[in-house]
Structures are given as structure tokens and as C-alpha cells.
């Protein structure tokens, strides 16, 4: 198989708008039919997660099982003898990519992931990299938005949290450029604003900045969160409180408004919001399985056709 025809999914920009709509429709098909098939019997997905994950790792594992295939999870690479750093991602990919039919990978560096795809003998799907790319999460977000509102365009969408360091928020902003919203409300402290490059792709009169959470009028409230420590912005507890979704703030959303969140939650959404009809995050997460099935199908089918 010629390596230059193999398709990988590293950024949401790697998909055309018609491919995105096709994936949403296919995920909906899997949801409606609760698909369990033997289609990919004998095929194996390598789940190479070099950063922690629950939903993406387990979700792709179960999605592969529902399609009749199997998955192998790799959460650590071998440490080089006598050295204090892990084996390089490129050496790992060169060594084991041929064991698999597809790889889903999570890595701290998007640049490193982009470099190693050329070394892989099978398609790679990015399960989250750096601060900037989480394409499978964006597709799950679009699926949740369309399921709840019936559309993708002309919505009033608010994003709250450390948006500069949230790969989910950055990836969602990237894909929303294809589906022009009526409003994008950026709710983050100045250090947590998304990059100007991402924002300038939208018409300037639809962008509103807020230095605290403001829920009125939003169709979709996306809680990107302020995880403690790690690669995220650290905030005082007073500042964190400005961006926390309380029950009272959730009730200020319109009746049809929905709260989404890539999860995991730290403290950005009060647990008593969970019982609100506006809380859409656990449904969003559980229905993410159907999008992961649609993605595995697309990239495994593409690989099969190209390698024949
Ligand atoms: N949304 C998301 O990426 O969750 P995990 O980190 O648990 O995979």
C-alpha cells in the first residue's frame, strides 16, 4: 500500500464538511439501530494512550467490540534501559503499527503526532493531542448539538473555562467555523482566551467576551473547565467561582438550552445541575460511542479499500 494515500485524522480540518455530515448521519444510524455486528471480525485497533483517558480510550475499545473487532490498550511505552525517559513515539509506531489495522493515539504533543503518522503502516486517529486537537471529541460535540437543537448553524454558543489550553474547546471552535453561529460567547479569564487566529475566522460582530459565566440566551453552553494543575491555567478559588455553573446560572439558560462538557468534570459544574433537563453532558458522553463506531468504520473501510 502506498503510504501517501493512507488517511489519518489528526485535526478536525482533515475532514471535509460533507465528510463531517456523513459521520454525524452514520453515528445517528448506529444510535437508532444499536448496532452490533461481526463486520470487523479479525481486525484489531491499537489504543495508544500516552496521557490519561477514560471516555476516549474505553469508548473506542467498546466501539471496536460492537463492530466485531478487538482492541489492545497501550498506556505506557517501554522505558529505555538506564535512562529516565520513555521510548520515543516514533520508535513505538515503527515497531508495532503493523500489528494493528488502525491506531487511536493520545499524546502530549500534536507536532510529534503529526510527524509519526508518516511512519505508521495503518491509519491513525487522534484521540487528543497537545492543547489544540481533539477531533473525535469535536465530532461528538457536533453530534450532541445537532441531536439537541436539530441544527448546527445559527446557534448562540457559549464556551466557558480555560479555552486557551482546552484541546476540546480549541477543536470545537475550529469546526464551528464551518457552521456559522449567531453568537460565540467566550467566557474565560484573559490568560485563558483562545488564540486570535482561531477567533478571527468568525465575523467579529458575533464574538462576545465575558470575564465570568453568563448564560442568558445561549442555545448551547460548553463547559471546557479549569482542571487543577497540569497543563491548565491555575486560578484562585474566587476566580474559579466566576466560571462555575451553579444551578441558578443553569436555570438562566433558555428552556431549550443545553449544557455540554467534554468531561471529566472537576468542579466547573455543580453536581446539582446534573438533574436539570438542561444537563446534556452525560448523554453527550454516552452517545459518543456511536460517533466512535462511525469513525472506526470510515477509517478501517478506507484502509481496506486502499490496501486491496
Ligand atoms: N472527553 C475526553 O477526552 O475524555 P477522556 O479524557 O476521559 O478521554
Ligand 1 site-directed mutation target among 52, 56, 224, most atoms within 8 Å of CB: 56
- Residue 80 banded pLDDT, cuts 50, 70, 90: low
Which residue has cell 470545537?
Answer: 172
CA 148 centroid distance within chain: 18
Per-residue HEC secondary structure of 199-227 comes to HCCCCHHHEEEECCCCCCCCCEEEEEECC
Q: Which atom of ligand 1 is nearest to the CA of 54?
A: 7
Q: Which atom of ligand 1 is nearest to the CA of 288?
A: 1
Mean pLDDT of the 182-196 span: 94
Q: What is the DSSP string of 68-137?
A: T-EEEEE--PPBPTTSSSBPPHHHHHHHHGGG-SEEEEEES-HHHHHHHGGG-SS-EEEEEETTTB-HHH
What CA–CA distances, in Å, run from 31 to 27, 56, 67?
Answer: 6, 17, 13
**Helix H or strand E segment including 156:** strand 156-161
Residue 215 C-beta-side C-alpha neighbours within 13 Å: 25
Which residue has cell 469535536?
Answer: 138
Q: Which atom of ligand 1 is nearest to the CA of 56?
A: 8
Task: Give the largest CA-CA distance in the chain.
Answer: 60
Ligand 1 site-directed mutation target among 63, 128, 284, most atoms within 8 Å of CB: 128
pLDDT computed for residue 238 by the predictor: 82
Q: Partners of 207 in the beta sheet?
A: 184
Ligand 1 site-directed mutation target among 50, 55, 172, most atoms within 8 Å of CB: 55
pLDDT computed for residue 152 by the predictor: 98
Ligand 1, atom 6: nearest CA belongs to which residue? 53
What distance in Å separates the CA atoms of residue 107 and residue 14, rounded to the nearest whole number? Answer: 18
168, 235 contact by CB (below 8 A): no
What distance in Å separates the CA atoms of residue 19 and residue 15, rounded to the nearest whole number? Answer: 6
Count, residues in the chain? 308
**Helix H or strand E segment including 31:** helix 17-33
**Contact residues of ligand 1, CB 6 A cut-off:** 53-56, 128, 137, 262-264
Ligand 1, atom 3: nearest CA belongs to which residue? 56
Q: Nearest CA to 243 among 267, 259, 262, 276?
A: 267
Average pLDDT of the chain to the nearest whole number: 93
pLDDT computed for residue 230 by the predictor: 55
pLDDT digits (tens, 9 = 90+) for 89-107: 999 999 999 999 999 999 9
Q: Which atom of ligand 1 is nearest to the CA of 52?
A: 6
Ligand 1, atom 4: nearest CA belongs to which residue? 55
Higher pLDDT, 234 or 275: 275
CA 220 centroid distance within chain: 16
Amino acid at each position: 500500500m502506498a503510504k501517501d494515500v493512507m488517511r489519518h485524522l489528526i485535526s478536525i480540518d482533515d475532514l471535509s464538511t460533507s465528510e463531517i455530515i456523513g459521520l454525524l448521519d452514520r453515528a445517528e444510524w448506529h444510535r437508532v439501530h444499536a448496532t452490533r455486528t461481526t463486520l470487523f471480525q479479525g481486525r484489531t485497533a491499537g489504543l495508544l494512550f500516552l496521557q490519561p483517558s477514560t471516555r476516549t480510550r474505553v469508548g473506542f475499545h467498546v466501539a471496536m467490540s460492537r463492530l466485531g473487532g478487538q482492541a489492545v490498550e497501550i498506556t505506557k511505552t517501554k522505558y529505555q534501559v538506564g535512562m529516565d525517559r520513555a521510548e520515543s513515539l516514533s520508535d513505538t509506531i515503527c515497531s508495532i503499527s503493523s500489528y494493528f489495522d488502525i491506531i487511536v493515539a493520545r499524546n502530549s504533543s500534536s507536532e510529534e503526532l503529526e510527524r509519526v503518522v508518516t511512519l505508521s503502516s495503518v491509519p491513525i486517529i487522534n484521540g487528543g493531542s497537545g492543547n489544540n486537537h481533539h477531533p473525535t471529541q469535536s465530532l461528538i460535540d457536533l453530534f450532541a448539538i445537532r441531536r439537541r437543537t436539530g441544527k448546527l448553524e445559527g446557534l448562540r454558543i457559549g464556551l466557558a473555562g480555560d479555552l486557551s489550553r482546552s484541546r476540546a474547546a480549541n477543536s470545537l471552535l475550529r469546526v464551528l467555523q464551518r457552521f456559522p453561529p449567531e453568537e460565540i460567547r467566550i467566557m474565560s479569564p484573559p490568560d485563558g482566551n483562545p488564540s486570535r487566529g482561531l477567533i478571527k475566522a468568525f465575523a467579529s460582530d458575533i464574538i462576545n467576551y465575558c470575564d465570568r459565566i453568563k448564560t442568558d440566551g445561549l442555545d448551547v453552553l460548553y463547559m471546557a473547565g479549569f482542571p487543577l494543575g497540569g497543563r491548565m491555567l491555575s486560578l484562585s478559588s474566587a476566580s474559579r467561582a466566576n466560571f462555575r455553573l451553579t444551578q441558578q446560572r443553569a436555570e438562566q439558560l433558555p428552556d431549550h438550552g443545553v449544557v455540554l462538557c467534554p468531561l471529566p468534570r472537576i468542579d466547573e459544574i455543580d453536581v446539582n445541575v446534573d438533574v436539570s433537563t438542561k444537563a446534556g453532558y452525560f448523554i453527550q458522553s454516552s452517545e459518543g460511542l456511536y460517533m466512535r463506531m462511525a469513525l472506526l468504520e470510515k477509517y478501517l473501510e478506507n484502509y481496506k479499500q486502499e490496501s486491496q
